[in-house]
Every structure is written in C-alpha cells, then in structure tokens.
Amino acid sequence: MVDQGKTYLLRVVNAVVAADIFFAISQHNLTVVGMDGHYTKPIMTSYITISPGQTMDLLLTADQSLGQYYMAARQFWSQSIKVSDFNQFNTTAILQYRGNYTIPSSPSFPKTLPLYKDVQSASKFTSRLRSLASKEHPINVPLNITTKMFITLSMNDLECRNTTCTATGGGNILAAGVNNISWSNPGIDILLAYYRNISGVYTTDFPDNPPSFFNFTGEDLPTGIAVTELGTKVKVLNYNEAVEVVFQDTNLEAGAGIHPMHLHGYSFYVVGIGLGNFDNETDPKGFNLVDPPEVNTFQVPKNGWLALRFIANNPGVWFWHCHLDRHMTWGMAGVFIVKNGDTVETSIRRPPAYLPSCRVPTGPRLQMSDGFDGKANESSFI
C-alpha cells in the first residue's frame, strides 16, 4: 500500500540461490542508491538485475495514477541458450495506491521487465553501477597492488573413485573448479584448524594462476583439460596486503555462464569487467579507479572476466564462492586466510567460552545438469 506522491525506500535481496533475477514495477521507475551496504551514484532505471546474495537499495516514488500495479520478477537464464524448459514463472506482488478509485480487473504488468535470456539488458544495468565516492562517503581503492591472482571459473569433470559415485553409472561426474581445483570441504573447520594449528586439514598452495592458459572462451575446447581434482587449498595473505583478483569465466564443458562471486568478510571494488579473455596488457588500462562500485557480490559475465581489488585488513579465514549454490556445492569456491596484524585490534578475536562445537555433517554434492543435457537444473545427490 502506497500514498500518491510519497517516496519509499525498498531494500531488495535476491534470496534465490539458483538464479539471477530481473525485477520491475509496472509504469514506475526505480532509483538505485545503494548495493551491499554501500552508497552508489543514483541511477534511474525501469528494471534491475540482481544476483543471488546481492542486496540493493531502491527509491520508489508513487507518481502514477491511483490504481494497482504489478511488481514482478523472473529468472535471467545465462546458461546454454539451447535450453528452453527452464523455470519460466513470473513471481508477482501488487503495488496498490490508497484512495477512492475503481479497482481494475487486473493490475498492469511491467512491460520493461527483460525477457529470460536478455543478456544485453543484464549487462547494460550492471555497467551503470558506480560508487557515490563523495566527500561525505569517500572510497579507498587500492592502487599499489602487492598480490595479483588470475582465477578461472570452470565446469569440470571429476573422476568417479568411490562407490557412492559409481551409483550414478560410473565414469566422470560434473563438477566445478577454480584454477582447476574443485573445493573439498574438510572434516574439521578451517578456522578452527588455523587458530589451533591443527595440521593435515588444508594446504596453503592455492595457485595464483591456472595450470595452463588457452582460449578460455573458445568453442569445442578439448575435454581433457576439463578434468579437475578435489582439493582443500587456501591462499594465505599478509595483513594489509593490497589484493587484485581477476575472475575469468571459461567455456569448458560448454558451460560458460554468469557467476556471481561472493567474498565473505570483505567488500571489494569492481575495477573492471569485460567480455572475452582478459588481456593483462590492455584491459588494466581501462580499470575504473575513480568510482568503482564497492560490493561483496558481483557477476562475472558469461564468457567474460571481472577484476576486483581489496585491502586484506580483516584477519581471519574467509570463504569465497560462486553464489549459484549448485556451482558452490560442485566446488567453485576457495578460502583466503588473512594473517594477524601487529596489534590486538588487528588480530583474530579469541573464540568465546560458550562457543558450541559445529556437528553439522558435510552434505553430499548436488549433481545437476546446468543445462548441458538440454534440461535445466534437475538435481540428484551423489
């Protein structure tokens, strides 16, 4: 219920763990003023694109005729364009003006809501996002980078080596990986193992680059390079390091798609985004170091790349992963360990005395087609 002439703040979160979402309100514009707890330069738009785990702050002015208007959302499908049987439902609610008027037989539907496979609309929206970067709300983009990482995001094959897996018919199973490593959850929490110096839980050899370079976004890539290995490998960062990470989507297994990458414990600056293979010589020249958006989740475009920067000033053990949960459970994830600083204030806090032990068992991997077989995300556990 809204009053004509008033402006409302909408706090929007994409709580769908399996899809990016388009959202619009019929005959109303929205003004984006914040993302993930940080102010943005206001942008007026007739729709938004929001990834799993992302949050946005929107201003809505009730400036239309008295009546009812649909708020509507639908999935943005970025996997195989050949798939047609994915979820094509529209989810709706009604924006209703207070006052005396004849209720329409049906609210109007937003004509500006993009269609399910509208890559251009998704890219157009995300390209407009900028930090407010004002005197009252300054930003601090790292300029002197001390650690650079280039991380590929891939669909992979994982060799079937246990009886549970062979129940699916043997051979390889579909997995996901980062720099050709498919994340494997350990039996002991990594934070606990790090804090108490428990050995054998993880290794500190996560690579800064993939094992090989090729045409990451090419068609008909060799199947042999898609085979991955399970690993619990972390990247260790010194306190206050200036970090740059470039995420590169790949078309291995013909599995290119959008990957909303999320980093726990930090916000980061999105300094660059583009299509195709990242060029380390030319693409950094176009980085936005003036007013890049500051977020904790952002989409790596299909067959494209995303460059982000942050200062490692929050000591601890921090998970990072694709926020499409099927990709995360398949292994598209990793961990940063940030060392303590020189003071108590810049060190990991001790665990509280009442901290209970976590006895939740590690769940099985969720095996879904991701559209490779012409079907959309039919799940089975392995």
Q: How many Å apart are CA 155 and CA 63, to the nearest integer? A: 46
Return the CATH superfamily for domain 6-127: Cupredoxins -  blue copper proteins (2.60.40.420)
Residue 368 clears pLDDT 70, i.e. is over it: no
**Which residues on neighbouring strands pair with residue 304, listed in sequence order?**
275
pLDDT tier at 174 (50, 70, 90 boundaries)?
Answer: confident
pLDDT of residue 162: 59
pLDDT tier at 230 (50, 70, 90 boundaries)?
Answer: very high
Residue 168 clears pLDDT 90, i.e. is over it: no
pLDDT tier at 86 (50, 70, 90 boundaries)?
Answer: confident
Residues 5-37: tens digit of each pLDDT: 999 999 999 998 888 999 999 999 999 999 999
Residue 350 clears pLDDT 90, i.e. is over it: no
pLDDT tier at 252 (50, 70, 90 boundaries)?
Answer: very high
Q: Which residues of 202-227 are buried (b: 16+ CB within 10 A; e: fewer)?
A: beeebeeebeeeeebbeeebeeebbe
Residue 128 C-alpha from the chain's centroid: 18
Residue predicted with more confidence, 88 or 323: 323
What average pLDDT does range 81-98 have in this prediction? 85
Is 300 in a helix, a strand, or coil?
Answer: strand
Residue with structure tokens 């030319």?
282
Instruction: Give the helix/strand (H/E) hosting 123.
Output: helix 119-126
Q: What is the mean pLDDT of the chain?
A: 90
Highest mean pLDDT among 143-147, 183-187, 358-362: 143-147
Which pair of structure tokens corresponds to residue 343?
């003071």
pLDDT tier at 222 (50, 70, 90 boundaries)?
Answer: confident
* Spatial contact of 45 and 30, defined as CB atoms under 8 Å apart: yes
Residue 310 clears pLDDT 90, i.e. is over it: yes
What average pLDDT does range 337-358 have in this prediction? 88
Q: How many Å apart are CA 41 and CA 13, to the nearest integer? A: 19
Residue predicted with more confidence, 359 or 183: 183
* Spatial contact of 260 and 319, defined as CB atoms under 8 Å apart: no
pLDDT of residue 371: 52
Residue 381 clears pLDDT 50, i.e. is over it: no
* Spatial contact of 91 and 72, defined as CB atoms under 8 Å apart: yes
pLDDT tier at 361 (50, 70, 90 boundaries)?
Answer: low
pLDDT of residue 165: 55
Residue predicted with more confidence, 123 or 365: 123
Which pair of structure tokens corresponds to residue 26?
């019929």
For the beta carbon of residue 28, count every other beta carbon within 10 angstroms: 18
Q: How many Å apart are CA 167 and CA 174, to the nearest integer? A: 14
Residue 135 clears pLDDT 80, i.e. is over it: yes
Q: Where, residue-wise, is CATH 2.60.40.420 in the chain? A: 6-127, 147-346
Residue 243 C-alpha from the chain's centroid: 18
DSSP secondary structure of 39-69: EEEEEEES-EEE-TT-EEEEEEE--S-SSEE
Q: How many Å apart are CA 262 and CA 52, to the nearest integer? A: 9
What average pLDDT does range 163-173 have in this prediction? 55
* Spatial contact of 315 and 57, defined as CB atoms under 8 Å apart: no
Residues 28-65: tens digit of each pLDDT: 999 999 999 999 999 999 999 999 999 999 999 999 99
What average pLDDT does range 349-372 have in this prediction? 65
pLDDT of residue 163: 46
Return the CATH superfamily for domain 147-346: Cupredoxins -  blue copper proteins (2.60.40.420)
Are β-strands 91-96 and 181-183 bridged in parallel, bridged antiparallel, or unpaired? unpaired
Residue 190 clears pLDDT 80, i.e. is over it: yes
Report, in this order, helix, strand and coil percent for the chain, each rounded to 5. 10, 40, 50
